[in-house]
Amino acid sequence: MLQKIQRFGGAMFAPAMLFSISGLMVGISALATTVDIVGDLAVYGTPWYVFWTIIQRGSWTVFKRLPLLFAVALPIGLAQKQPARCCLEALVAYFAYCFFLSEIIKLSGDNLGLKYPSSLTPASGITVIDGIKTLDTGIIGPLAVSATVVAIHDRFYDAKVPDWLGTFSGSSLVYLISFFAVFALAAISAAIVPFAYAVTETLRHALAGVGPFGVGIFVFLERALEPMGLHHLLYMPIYYDNLVIHDGIYATWTNLLPILSHSTRPLNELAPWAGFTATGWGKLFGLPAIAAAFYFTAKPERRAGLKVILLPAIVASVVCGVTEPLEFLFMFTYPGLFLLYAVLSSCLAMTMNFFGIVGIFSGGLMEMTAFNFIPLMRMHAGSYLLALGIGLAFSLIFFVSFRALILVYDLKTPGREDHVSNRAAIDRLTGSGFAKEQSPNGEVSIQSDQDHVLAERVIQLLGGVGNIVGATNCATRLRVEVADPSIVADNASFVAVGAKGLIITGKTAQVIIGISVPRVKEHFDQIMGLEPGFVPTTSASPAASAAHKRGDICFFDIDGTLAWQDPRVAQELPESERDLSPYPNEAVSQAIRDFVAKGNMAFICTGAR
């Protein structure tokens, strides 16, 4: 169950990756159309005004279509097979869900306490999704629809149907089943959502009135849940749904930017609900101070090498808000330090909130600049200067606290270890020389080659192709389900080949890659044979190979019919499974991939047998 929750949380992060650039463009276009800032250029009707008005309109795309984005994005991280087709199925099913709810409200709205609006404008409990007047379910509705479609897709996408029903196979079959599933889901939503409004409204008032102490608790829990990969589930409903403010904190704050940029009233009076996004202050001021503590407590001869690790991690934390590269240096080796980090981050967030500093501060400097500093600096510069002073004071607290604990308890933090991981041991484990495969100057020639090599090393350390069941990724982690976790290498081995760290929970291995994980995942899929035209290029490790000693081989005709099978395969299969032919054409690719993933070999016959 924990594995499924982690994958679900990581999949929900995909749309959030688009928010920073959209917020940046909204902020810049708002500034460019403000007369107080650019003068007569921003007068209505000028070419300048027309251009930036068009840009501003387009910048709202992400925030105005959040339900659609979440409906389409979830299958990217959750679907086990053909995720692109699953995205299409989820989109169509979500539109059907909206139409179902629209008709239910039109016919029975009075019984539900909802009034169907006469025009294409939102009303109480009603929203408009691409011209469909439907029940406002926030992001919960599209997530429920998308998760339902993913489950149906994984179960029925490659299901066999009689030849005369061939047109109802694949995506057609998935949508047919999803059509009736989302109809039932729409009926349930219409019955329970109006009652949920009352509960949400009560919770909203409670959260809005918690003040700095409540913000501190939220930030502490958000940091504390990160090792398990569950922090997305905590902040998603608050940031992007109606839990604290209607339409979510991000969308509402962005919508209010023109008003906030002209008001001199304190921001905590105008938008007190925005205090919950204070998780980014620890990324901006806390983690760099912790990195400095590691550096100045390291052995002098190790500092040069440590700097190479720390500097990119600091940039990732401060600029992008990506914290794993630094946090995983101490998260599991010294949980006490991570607890101190969570507590100090909570105190920093409470202090900022106490002094009235609120806004979109959940990411790094790039996101903070887009949503706060660029559009609001003119009227609220004093608040941001105060935030700088508070942040620097807490940086000193972070540094002194971590340095003292490291020295008093002689903790073997990075740069203080008694030994260094042996590269030769890693080469023996993976069966290849990492250094030898690099270019003559000691570096991988191009980024693509570097990502490919890292993907190969990760597969090897996970036990080889035969030990990998499935894989997804979130913003910084590669989440891999393995058949046998006992043959997965240790954390030090993954760090030695270029990853940031490893977390093993049951049969789920979370490999911390960093912000380059989407590129590494592409190479990972190619090596695993998950895309046409690619075959595994990495052999399984000795431990993994021991589990697949049969060396089974099957030949398939180009139409998917089984041409020849190693007799040993038939002998080991139950009688009901020995007749493997013919395969439906649409299922051939997935069947062969599954066969190869188990350590077997398959060949396509394009001529005579």
Q: Looking at the annotation, which residues are catalytic? A: 474
Q: How many angstroms separate the CA atoms of 524 and 536, rounded?
A: 9
Measure the CA–CA gap between 224 and 239, rounded to whole angstroms. Answer: 18
**Pairing assessment for the beta strands 553-557 and 601-605 based on DSSP bridges:** parallel
509's enclosing H/E stretch is strand 508-512
**HEC states along 374-426?**
HHHHHHHHHHHHHHHHHHHHHHHHHHHHHHHHHHHCCCCCCCCCCCCCCHHHH
The owner of tokens 């479609």 is 149
Looking at this protein, which amino acid is placed at residue 526? Answer: Q
CA distance 142 to 131: 16
Instruction: Give the separation between CA 150 and CA 72, rounded to whole angstroms.
Output: 11
The answer to whether 71 touches 178, Cβ cutoff 8 Å, is no
Return left, alpha or beta for 215; rule: phi > 0 is left, psi -120 to 50 is alpha, else beta. alpha
Instruction: Kindly state the DSSP code that residue 123 receives in the 8-state scheme.
Output: B
Asked if 145 and 93 count as a contact pair (C-beta separation under 8 A), the reply is yes
| Count of CA atoms in the C-beta half-sphere (13 A) of 426 | 21
560, 565, 561, 557: which is closest to 607 by C-alpha?
557
Choose among 227, 331, 234, 325: nearest CA to 279.
234
> Rounded distance, CA 261 to CA 279, Å?
23
**Peptide bond between residue 67 and the one before it cis (omega within 30 degrees of 0):** no
Element holding 563 (H helix, E strand): strand 562-565
SS3 label, residue 414? coil
Are the CB atoms for 561 and 538 separated by under 8 Å? no
Alpha carbons 352 and 350: distance in angstroms, whole number: 5
**CB count, 10 Å around CB of 446?**
10
Dihedral of the alpha carbons of 515, 518, 522, 525, in degrees to the nearest 10: 100
DSSP run (H or E) holding 268: helix 267-270
What is the three-class DSSP state of 130? coil
- In 3-state terms, what secondary structure has residue 502? strand
Phi and psi angles of residue 442, each rounded to the nearest 5 degrees, phi first: 90, 0
